[in-house]
Amino acid sequence: MNERDIKALRWEGKDKKVSLGDCLYLNIRKTSKTYLLIKRGHFKSSTTTLGRVTGTSGKAPEISLKGARQKAVAQLNNTAVDISTVTVETLVNKYWKEVSEPVYKRPGQAIGYFDHIKIQLGKKKVKDIRRSELVDYIQNYSIERGARSSDRLRSYLKMVFSYGVELGFIESSPMSEVSKRITGYIYSPRKRILTNDEIIWLFADEHHHRRALRFLLLTGLRVGEMWAGYQDGDKWHVDDTKGKHSKDEKRPHWVYLTDTAKTCLPIKKVSNECLQHWVRYQQEETDRAKRWTPHDCRRTYTTLANDSGILPHVVEKCLNHKMEGVMAVYNYAEYEPERIECAKVVERVICKKINQKSK
């Protein structure tokens, strides 16, 4: 496309951008035509106005097509990276800022792994990293932290080095053929619920972490929903849930607050990791595979509700799970009375366990 073609283009009822190649675009609006430099990242892009087309109106300075191309090339060259000097730390930071940070639901967990990678490999050049070195790193991590954690590390390393290929820092990823086999991790659905003694232990004193865990057990909330919510009378409201089935939608949620749940308030807010570490510390002498986690309180709530005869679709609604099949399309009932009764039933079951122990 030459200068004459550009001047002949007209606004056709809506704004549009026409690609001129090499990140250069012509932006056609009702009152102006301008040249833009658009640099696209993995999840975000940056736009710079280079000037307006010669002979058109607008606030930007006039610039010819040739001048716009030269200006675009100059700006792209200024941001070019010497790939021979790129370190693992630089790559990890770029992956975090451009890919992970905008979309991660639980950034705290990812940051921990990325920090560990930077400590172990950060100063090394990306082009010098070998597969055998990464395999040794992952397997040593498995000995220290367990198969599941090491497989998460493997997954993060795979994503980081794949991004390095996308950016042109390396021609192929040293993680491309590294599978779960090196970690020994085999996925199996978690089935852990709290025992009667563990439920009673939660009510042993008024430590703020114990109160938070009791609240999870009595409401069936996710940890993040507990931190994000607020009390309004007899209900705990969460305006923007972050569950695994609601990443791209807002699905407000509420749970009924029984008298026992209200005794847990106010809840001291800490990070998810802080609460998890405290629970882990309390179980130091317990075999790792037999330990329970804060999220297991939610699974225990679900089990107690179902064992008490609460209808499954009501329990699903209490958990703010997305309905499946026909119910997802046609059933928009809130089941408010049934959800309130579910909370009261679970409270009675828990209180009965505590009272039986105290006798």
Q: 3-state SS of 275-308?
A: HHHHHHHHCCCCCHHHCCCCHHHHHHHHHHHHHC
The confidence band for 162, taking pLDDT boundaries of 50, 70 and 90, is very high
pLDDT (average), residues 86-99: 91
The confidence band for 217, taking pLDDT boundaries of 50, 70 and 90, is very high
**132-136, 235-239, 280-284: least confident range:** 280-284
pLDDT at 289: 72
pLDDT at 331: 75
Entry pTM: 0.60
Residue 10 confidence (pLDDT) above 60: yes
Mean pLDDT of the chain: 88
pLDDT (average), residues 54-79: 80
Residue 247 confidence (pLDDT) above 70: no
Residues 6+ apart with CB under 8 A from 16: 28
pLDDT at 263: 96
Q: Which domains does the chain have, with CATH numbers?
A: 3-78 (3.30.160.390), 84-182 (1.10.150.130), 196-358 (1.10.443.10)
Contacts 24+ apart (CB under 8 A), 72-77: 72/22, 72/23, 72/24, 72/35, 72/37, 73/22, 75/37, 75/48, 76/22, 76/23, 76/37, 76/39
Please report, rounded to a whole number, the percentage of residues in the chain having pLDDT higher than 70: 91
